[in-house]
Structure 1
Amino acid sequence: MNGIVPLWKPVGMTSHDCVVRLRRIFATKKVGHTGTLDPEVQGVLPICIGEATKIVPYLTDTSKTYLAEVTLGYATDTEDQTGKVIEQTPVNKGAITETVIERVLLNFLGQIEQVTPLYSAVKVNGKRLYQYARENQPVERPIRQVRVDDITYIEHSLSFKSDRAVFQFQATVSKGTYIRTLSVDIGKALGYPAHMSQLIRTGTADFTKKQTYTLEQLEQLKDSARLTECLYPIQSGLSHLPVYQVNEKLVSRVLNGQKLSQPDDWNSDRAYRVEHKGKLLAIYQSHPTKAGEIKPLRVFNSER
């Protein structure tokens, strides 16, 4: 079996845990996830099966949509609800309104800079940041450019409890964007220490919650020999790539991984999915050293 399973990852499991479970369900080692979700986060996690594992880097590189809850009033060392409190400031109810939040969120649209969270797997000098944190060692965290394509306040989500305020926002962001860091920065812009108190991934590329399957549903499909029903075609994970249609004469050359002449309208900065009559054959890019040629990055044996 080859294809993509849009899994609804439950709270309490790592992305790797889900891969292990699907290896058993599909009886194959060729399983890969398309973007790590922390154990405390639930949501859309496309899992690639068989030949689809060849597109993991391309599907991982797509935009993601999240529903996040922000708590104003205190910050944590992990920037989310799992960490230790490191700063507290009582919230002035009169200063935080829905209008104020909506106005502040607009400032985060487009290209923004983020300081990589201390509790993350990003490496600095060969060592992961969370290791520096656990060993209480100082380290200069990288600053990254990320992109926020859309960010919206969830209407009527603002509430107050004791000296804290809680609200929700939805955001569609580029690969590498930390929503917990975004939540902290939004809090700072509102004038308060903050942390991300809940997170749900509601979309990855073109996959949404409506298309997902739970682990329990996958087990049921396996028991009734209907697992193929949950598999989306490989090209559904490549909808963000432009398409190059080849004629019948070129199909065998593509499937044999041969170089081709570069079409006149080819964008040398992009990878293309190469298809013939709706069938995905390969992914090609401009040849790095031979002008006027394109070369394969991935060839899909399932289409032979």
Structure 2
Amino acid sequence: MARRRRGLPVDGVLLFDKPQGASSNQILQRVRRLFQAQKAGHTGTLDPMATGLLPICFGEATKFSSHLLDADKVYRTRVKLGEVTDSGDAEGEVIERHAVPVLDEAQLEAVLARFHGEIDQLPPMYSALKHQGRKLYELAREGKTVERAVRRVTVYDARLLAHDAEGFELEVRVSKGTYIRTLAEDIGRALGCGAHITALRRLKTGPFSGEAMLDLPTLEALEDQPAREAKLMPVDVLVEHLPALGVDAEQAGRLLHGQPIRAERRDLATGSLARLYCDETFLGLGTVKAAGEIAPRRLLNTSAVAGDGRV
């Protein structure tokens, strides 16, 4: 007999403002309990020191969370010059100290320009990447260092917001997999004095900005479950960047039973993904096959009644 999942079948996306000091998983579990949700997951870990945008997906939305994991991100960070820590941030131990040269804005901008575009990064030991089944930060806490593969990432923009004798503030837009701690360390190395970050806030991930974020006190102040669920965004916001395709009830029934359908859409490239809707109800994603065929790719747990106009 299948084990019944505890909690309520909550579906949707919450844009959460993560506070400093808590891990992403700790926040996820607190929010999941607050919503009494059966299933939830976050999209893109933030370090305990970091704050800002942490999208949390509930229920059916978790099926499409990978689209946010692959999205570009925007961060604001404070970089302290003259000190290198073992973790790359203010929570680590200082392992090097260097004199900080007198730098004007033009000199800083010239160094920052060297980090625009595609760059190679060595992932830090204090990260959630795994080596032989163990997370790197677990090994780092044991004083161990293992070999890591260099990654190719993209810094689309690194805008200098402010600077003083001790460091500077940046707003950066980067591709997935970019470590801001490592970027700051590399910039500090290029300046000849070392660096680490003392503050980090995520402002944007993919299409979502911090303007719609909610924090824990705001959520806890809501009166009941319907009021909390009213704050969730619909599941399909995660895939709004994909083209939409409407189908009738008979086609919806075929798709939801794992069968392909015909669709005369010349503008959809073979191998691409499309959002599927029936009477404005989101069904999930389909893959465009050759000769105008759409095959189900990832669908919601939605029952279909073929031929009567309902889904």
TM-score range, shorter chain: 0.7 to 0.9
Of the structure 1 ranges 230-239 and 216-225, higher mean CA displacement relative to structure 2 is found in 216-225
Distance of 2:131 and 2:274 partners within structure 1 = 33
Distance of 2:302 and 2:52 partners within structure 1 = 29
Structure 1 partner of 2:191: 190
- The amino acid of 2:243's aligned partner reads V
Structure 1 segments (4+ residues) deviating >4 Å = 261-264, 290-294
Aligned pairs, how many? Answer: 293
Taking a change above 3 Å as real, the CA distance of residues 225 and 299 of structure 1, as seen in their structure-2 partners, is closer
Give the 3-state SS of the residue equivalent to 2:31 in structure 1. helix
Distance of 1:213 and 1:192 partners within structure 2 = 38
Structure 2 partner of 1:273: 275
Deviations 1:63-111 (A, max 9, x none): 1110011111011110111111121111122xx1122222222222222
Distance of 2:251 and 2:226 partners within structure 1 = 37
Distance of 2:82 and 2:202 partners within structure 1 = 24
Taking a change above 3 Å as real, the CA distance of residues 112 and 278 of structure 1, as seen in their structure-2 partners, is farther
Pairwise CA distance, 1:184? 0.7
Q: Is the CA contact (8 Å cut-off) linking 2:243 and 2:273 kept in structure 1?
A: no
- Selected match of 1:2 from 1, 11, 14: 11
- Selected match of 2:125 from 118, 126, 129: 118
Using the aligned pairs only, state the percent identity.
39
Q: Is the CA contact (8 Å cut-off) linking 1:25 and 1:222 kept in structure 2?
A: no
Pairwise CA distance, 1:278? 4.7
Superposition map of 1:18-33 within 5 A? 18-33=27-42
Distance of 1:302 and 1:211 partners within structure 2 = 28
Q: Is the CA contact (8 Å cut-off) linking 1:257 and 1:299 kept in structure 2?
A: no
Bigger RCO (CA 8 Å, 6+ sep): 1
Q: Are 2:149 and 1:148 equivalent residues in the alignment? A: no
Q: Are 2:297 and 1:297 equivalent residues in the alignment? A: yes
Of the structure 1 ranges 212-221 and 119-128, higher mean CA displacement relative to structure 2 is found in 119-128
Superposition map of 1:92-241 within 5 A? 92-93=101-102, 96-154=103-161, 157-160=162-165, 165-223=166-224, 225-240=226-241
Distance of 2:190 and 2:90 partners within structure 1 = 20
TM-score normalized with structure 2 length: 0.85
Distance of 1:201 and 1:125 partners within structure 2 = 30
Distance of 1:191 and 1:291 partners within structure 2 = 59
Give the 3-state SS of the residue equivalent to 1:221 in structure 2. coil
Structure 1 partner of 2:5: none
Deviations 1:176-224 (A, max 9, x none): 1111001111112222211111100111112212101111111122448
Taking a change above 3 Å as real, the CA distance of residues 29 and 252 of structure 1, as seen in their structure-2 partners, is same
Pairwise CA distance, 1:250? 2.6
How well do the aligned residues superpose, as a CA RMSD in angstroms? Answer: 2.4
Structure 1 partner of 2:6: none
- The amino acid of 2:269's aligned partner reads N
